[in-house]
A and B are shown apart, each in its own frame.
Chain A
């Protein structure tokens, strides 16, 4: 009698298991293993090479005593706040404008979104050029006769992070607009009809009916923006290389420089662990709200 017995569960569905090996390796070795490894070595005094010579929280004390790290964190907070607020507001406004059954919608959308296809390096270099005080916007405005006009964010350490934010917004708002537009399109047409029949003005419909209905879209958008903020690196490298001085340093750059230039791996690991921690602080409440809530519902 063939196969009357239950086959060994290990070999059942074997092809699927083989096909999942890359995923299993990536998830367990790289993501879990790599993360634990980095966290573990952040408690050591590794310099040029990773060594298991534990020094407790020394690296973290040193990290939070380093001015460059403090500047990085401050920059990240400013950059993050600007990115969040402006990309949400601009992205939503543009999406709402495009949702008015306008002509040439595709053309406008193509224009708003194309910067997103460009790399942060290209973005950074273009804006470096546009914001160049000797040739760029400042120069042009001064040529127009307004000689006292001053707009040189990339050379002014107190506002350099705003100069970087401008470039980041130029690059990224198109994406947010697209997500918002998809969210707006996902709203039942009948809602608009009902609001019109009830005589509710359009801005009120948006504010009190449509935006609350788009809560899931806003949350995903928020998560996307937030995870992008923490990763910001290439843009700074291209636009300012962290300068003037250390005025536009960001944590990701701090990690890279300590790992690969300063030959101070322990510092790099501690800084990257702090980055991980900040992501956890953002992601865990979100995951709890999103997925913990579903189980209850």
Chain B
């Protein structure tokens, strides 16, 4: 092979230059066929994914007359926030007409303690499974993970009985317990794998230093695990906020979470359908998880990947 560093002898023909081929960086075409296809496809798909959100927003900002006459995709001619106010404060669900605000606060009262309790239980448990293995622990853990695949429908009625026995059926505390139970498999797995991936020697060093079960957890492990706690919080906040089934089974109308109330507002058969109010209510319900999603960014992806890829 000719060494490209050696200059061609004087008088070398054009054919010889040609044979050596081009030099320098490869030319790049921004508008190559590949790029047009690539970005074109991605753009079309992105529009498809964004369209429902867009329609929701524009519908919620229109008045009913405009909705009846116009096109769901067209932007509002006259922006009105009245549907939002109505959805929040005065929309009717069955007996009471105080809007989604009641459901919102119920959901807050359900989500906050459920997230805290489930993460507290699962993190300590995952730590025990990773670092303080005892006989039989893995058996229960396997049952727990396998149990995550059992359809909820199989277990909802026995739980109704248990909650009724301890006097928590229909109360928010009962629902908090249910969320903690069903959040346990995935969270325990998440924490167990995380703690197991931490260097074992760190745990041993802490033991030589004399720290015990709780000392090592609170002073060494937990401070090192902030990312996984954030992932768990994201996972739980969105999961519990979005729950419908447990809300409808284990609460009463005055303690219904936001999703259940939203469904009752939109799908109620009485009265004239107010699509703008419905869409405003829908956005309001989706707002909390959406905010969590957009703030958390990559951690959300990590959370669902961790939540999804089991074992």
Q: Which residues of A contact B (CB under 8 A)?
A: 9, 12-13, 15-17, 19-20, 22-24, 26-35, 37-39, 50, 94, 97-98, 100, 102, 106, 108-122, 125-130, 135-137, 139-140, 143, 170, 174-175, 178-179, 182, 220-221, 223-224, 227, 230-231, 233-234, 237-238, 241, 251-252, 255-256, 259-260, 265, 268-269, 271-273, 275-276, 279, 283, 287, 290
Q: Is the CB of B181 within 8 A of A26?
A: yes
Q: Is the CB of B304 within 8 A of A31?
A: no
For the complex, give the distance between the alpha carbons of A31 and B145 in Å: 10
Q: Is the CB of B55 within 8 A of A130?
A: yes
Q: Is the CB of A121 within 8 A of B147?
A: no
- Contact partners of A94 in chain B: CB under 8 A: 45
User: Would you call B308 an interface residue if the criterion is a C-beta within 8 Å of the partner chain's C-beta atoms?
Assistant: yes
Q: Is the CB of B159 within 8 A of A22?
A: no
For the complex, give the distance between the alpha carbons of A19 and B147 in Å: 19
For the complex, give the distance between the alpha carbons of A125 and B111 in Å: 22
- Contact partners of A223 in chain B: CB under 8 A: 149, 310
Q: How far is the CB of B166 from chain A (nearest CB, A)?
A: 12
A221 closest partner in B (C-beta): B308
Q: Is the CB of A130 within 8 A of B52?
A: yes
Q: What 4 new A-B contacts, CB under 8 Å, besides A9-B135, A122-B286, A272-B153?
A: A34-B158, A102-B42, A118-B289, A220-B310
- Contact partners of A255 in chain B: CB under 8 A: 153
Also in contact, A31 and B143, with CB within 8 A (given A22-B121, A260-B249): yes
Q: Is the CB of B245 within 8 A of A233?
A: yes
For the complex, give the distance between the alpha carbons of A148 and B301 in Å: 43
Q: Is the CB of B242 within 8 A of A15?
A: no
User: Would you call B226 an interface residue if the criterion is a C-beta within 8 Å of the partner chain's C-beta atoms?
Assistant: no
Q: Is the CB of B72 within 8 A of A130?
A: yes
User: Would you call B251 an interface residue if the criterion is a C-beta within 8 Å of the partner chain's C-beta atoms?
Assistant: no
Q: Is the CB of A15 within 8 A of B132?
A: yes
Q: List 16 A-B contacts (CB under 8 A).
A: A16-B132, A20-B128, A23-B140, A24-B140, A28-B143, A29-B162, A30-B159, A117-B290, A119-B243, A121-B262, A121-B263, A122-B285, A125-B282, A135-B72, A220-B309, A234-B245
A38 closest partner in B (C-beta): B154
Q: How far is the CB of B127 from chain A (nearest CB, A)?
A: 7
Q: Is the CB of A279 within 8 A of B149?
A: yes
- Contact partners of B124 in chain A: CB under 8 A: 19
A100 closest partner in B (C-beta): B38
Q: How far is the CB of B68 from chain A (nearest CB, A)?
A: 8
User: Would you call B20 an interface residue if the criterion is a C-beta within 8 Å of the partner chain's C-beta atoms?
Assistant: no
Q: Which of B128, B238, B245 contacts A16, CB < 8 Å?
A: B128
Binds A, one of B5-13, B91-99, B200-208, B292-300: B292-300
Q: Closest 8 CB pairs between A and B?
A: A119-B242, A31-B147, A15-B213, A16-B132, A34-B158, A117-B293, A16-B128, A27-B143
